[in-house]
Structure 1
C-alpha cells in the first residue's frame, strides 16, 4: 500500500498524469502476465537441493498448494513483490523510452496501475481462499470455482486469479469434467509437505 502511495506521489511530482492511457496497457496484459507468472514461475520445478532457493520456492507458492488454507502462504513474500515491481518499472521505462525521452518518468504511470492491479489481485486471491466469503457476482463465483479446481482437482489448468481471459485465450480454462483429477494438485512440482 505504501508503495502505491509513493508511486502516485512520483506520478504527481513528475507531472506525468497525462500519460494515464498507459494504464490501459496494464489492464490488457495483466491476465496474460498472471497466466505466465503462475504457470512458468510459481509452478517451476522444485530445486532438488535443500537450501535457500528451494525454501524460497516453497514459501513463494509450492507451500500454498500443499496448505492452501494457511494465510501466511497465500501472499507472496515482500522480496518477490519488490523484484516484480523492479521488473515492471524497468520494462515500462524501456517501452516508454522508445517513444519519449522521458521514459523513466512516464514509466511510473503504468507502474502505479500495476500496483493498483496487484492490490486487487491479492484481495481477490484472499477472497478465493476465505471460506466465509461468498462471491456477490456470477463472475466472482466462476473465478473462485476455477481457482478451487486449480488447487484441488488439477493444478495444470485455470491459472488466472482475477479473471479467466488468459486461460480462455490460451486454452487452459477447464471445468471439472474436462480434465482428470491430478494426484499432484497439492504437491506441485515435486513438493511433498
Structure 2
C-alpha cells in the first residue's frame, strides 16, 4: 500500500505529489512514473541508439560526454542565477507566464512536484541547445547524440536529487545531507546564493556560496523572488495567472514579528 499521499494522483501533472509529506519510497514511485522523467529516459535511449549507428570512436565519444559533464553545472548556474532569478521576464507580458512556470511557482511552493520539474517544452530545447553543438563539434552526429544523451541523463540525476532536497527525509549520506542543507538555505533563507543542485563549486567560484544562516541575513524576497505586491501592481501578468497576490512566506507560516 503506497499511502494517502499517492492516492488519487494525476500521473500526467503530479499535482497531488507533496514532497513535504512523502517518504523516500513514495518519491521513487512518483519519480519513476512521472511523465517528464519517462520522456527524458526515452529520449536518452534514442540518443544512445543514434550514437550506436553513428559511432565516432571511443575517444570522441568520451570527450563529448566529459565536455557535457563539465559544462552542465556552469550552464545551470548561469541560467538559474541570471535567467530564473532575473526580474526581466515577469516585466514583459509575453514572458511572464514562462517565468511563473519555470521558477516563480517553485519558490512559492517548494514542495510541489509538478512545478519542481520543468516543463519539457522548455527543458528539452534548452538541453539540446547546450549539448548538441558541443557534441557535433567533437564527433559530428554521433558526438551530438552522445552529448544529448548525457545531458538528459544528468538532468534526470539533477531532478532526483532536487526532489531529495525538498523531501520529508533525512539522507543517510553526509554529502547528500550537506547538499540538501545548502539548497534548503536557497529556498528558505536567502535565494541570492547556493544556485547549484548537486555541486556548489561554481557558487564558490562566483562568490554566491554560503554555508549557514549566520553567513548572511534572511532575505525578504526568498519566497517571491522580488515579485512582491508592489511589483505585482506594476506588472500584473504573473498575479493574473496565479489568481492571487504573491506570497512572502509559505502557506501556514506564522508572520515574523519584530523583536524590540
**TM-score, normalised by the number of residues in structure 2:** 0.67
Distance in 1, matches of 2:151 and 2:42, equals 14
* Residues 90, 100 of structure 2: 8 Å contact kept: no
The aligned residue for residue 169 of structure 1 is: 205
- Report how far residue 44 of structure 1 moved: 2.1
How many pairs align?
Answer: 186
The aligned residue for residue 63 of structure 1 is: 105
* Residues 132, 147 of structure 2: 8 Å contact kept: no
The aligned residue for residue 114 of structure 1 is: 151
Distance in 2, matches of 1:129 and 1:137, equals 16
Residue 160 of structure 1 pairs with residue 196 of structure 2: yes
- Report how far residue 49 of structure 1 moved: 4.8
- Report how far residue 143 of structure 1 moved: 0.9
Unaligned runs of at least 5 residues, structure 1: 97-101
Unaligned runs of at least 5 residues, structure 2: 1-40, 229-245, 248-260
Distance in 2, matches of 1:185 and 1:64, equals 11
Could you give the per-residue CA deviations for residues 112-146 of structure 1, whole angstroms, max 9, x where no partner exists?
Answer: 21111111001110111111x22221111111011
The aligned residue for residue 125 of structure 2 is: 83
* Residues 92, 111 of structure 1: 8 Å contact kept: no
Distance in 1, matches of 2:110 and 2:165, equals 10
**TM-score, normalised by the number of residues in structure 1:** 0.88
Quick one: structure 1 residues 92 and 17, their matched pair in 2 at CA, closer, same or farther if it must change by over 3 Å?
A: same
Could you give the per-residue CA deviations for residues 154-191 of structure 1, whole angstroms, max 9, x where no partner exists?
Answer: 00000000111111222211022111110000001416
* Residues 160, 167 of structure 1: 8 Å contact kept: yes
Q: 1 or 2 for the larger relative contact order (CA 8 Å, sep ≥6)?
A: 1
Quick one: structure 1 residues 58 and 17, their matched pair in 2 at CA, closer, same or farther if it must change by over 3 Å?
A: farther
Distance in 2, matches of 1:42 and 1:104, equals 31
Could you give the per-residue CA deviations for residues 27-73 of structure 1, whole angstroms, max 9, x where no partner exists?
Answer: 222221221111012112142355x5211211101110011111111
RMSD: 1.8
The structure with the larger Rg is 2
